[in-house]
Structure 1
């Protein structure tokens, strides 16, 4: 299921929800432990896991973009800057395991926005596969049709 996308000024808020059949502690590790983080988003690295701490994005050219952790609650909330935008992960107990709610607050929709949303969608599906011990397969094959769907969703907001 695609993210729920709500208009917000010139931008939007995209909210992804996943029920993961694993305890919060295990899901949290995929968001905060660098070894596990590398398995689903190899460019990210947590440098200081605390409010005011930072996460680094490896630009793959020898430079890093620094993102500030804006909200942190162990095993519950991780929010950080994402360029001009913001990303948050919230974990909630669910009967089946954990409800993961990921939001990206996008201040201005650009032609790159559908790419990012499709990317986050795939990343969250990869986390679910890793937790389940399943091989995800080709991210690119999954990403391409999602990109088209998110492109249509962004076009519909205009």
Structure 2
């Protein structure tokens, strides 16, 4: 088995797509719960209800103070205090193996995120694919966010609490801008 690096960079798999792989503590039902249950999901990404069916609504509330004590930069301050809501639609679902949903972007550009889970013994391989991204700038922004959030998820599943989140974002975004400029 080829074990993914727990902090590996996402890779481009198409001109508008970035993909991440993380090997997480299982079982698969536990990781699925952290993708779909609001109280668990808010510990690493965003709370909010999801209608777990194709065509269902997902109303996510990004309030990062629920998983990090690190202060947010001024431009993201509301993400730590009152939170930021976004509306998504479930495109496809196959519990506990796959969840595909829309992801709102800038200028009303909608992209798509697919979460896939694969049992690997006592662990679970999570593959996150974010596609239909508008351009390389959006790819770098999205990739840095997923990279940091997936780090929080791994920490939470291992029983910890995120120490660094916001301070990682600028360095990750700069790294992704360089990486994607070379692709």
TM-score (norm 2): 0.75
Hey, what does 1:45 align to over in structure 2? 48
Question: How far did 1:95 drift?
Answer: 2.5
Name the CA shift for 1:151/1:24 in 2 (closer, same or farther; >3 Å). same
Name the CA shift for 1:153/1:64 in 2 (closer, same or farther; >3 Å). same
| 44-53 vs 74-83, which moves further | 44-53
Hey, what does 1:87 align to over in structure 2? 113
Higher strand share: 1
Establish whether residue 24 from structure 1 lines up as the match of residue 45 from structure 2: no
Question: How far did 1:52 drift?
Answer: 1.1
Establish whether residue 128 from structure 1 lines up as the match of residue 135 from structure 2: no
Aligned counterpart in structure 2 of residue 77 of structure 1, from 98, 104, 109:
98
Establish whether residue 54 from structure 1 lines up as the match of residue 80 from structure 2: no
Aligned counterpart in structure 2 of residue 97 of structure 1, from 123, 129, 144:
123
Hey, what does 1:4 align to over in structure 2? 11
Q: How many residues align?
A: 153
Deviations 1:2-25 (A, max 9, x none): 0111333xxx21110001122101
Unaligned stretches of 5+ residues in structure 2: 1-7, 63-77, 105-109
Structural RMSD (CA):
2.1
Question: How far did 1:96 drift?
Answer: 4.3
SS of the residue corresponding to residue 45 of structure 1 reads coil
Name the CA shift for 1:133/1:63 in 2 (closer, same or farther; >3 Å). closer
Check whether the contact 2:23–2:123 (CA below 8 A) recurs between aligned residues. yes
Q: How far, CA to CA, are the matches of 1:5 and 1:23 in structure 2? A: 28
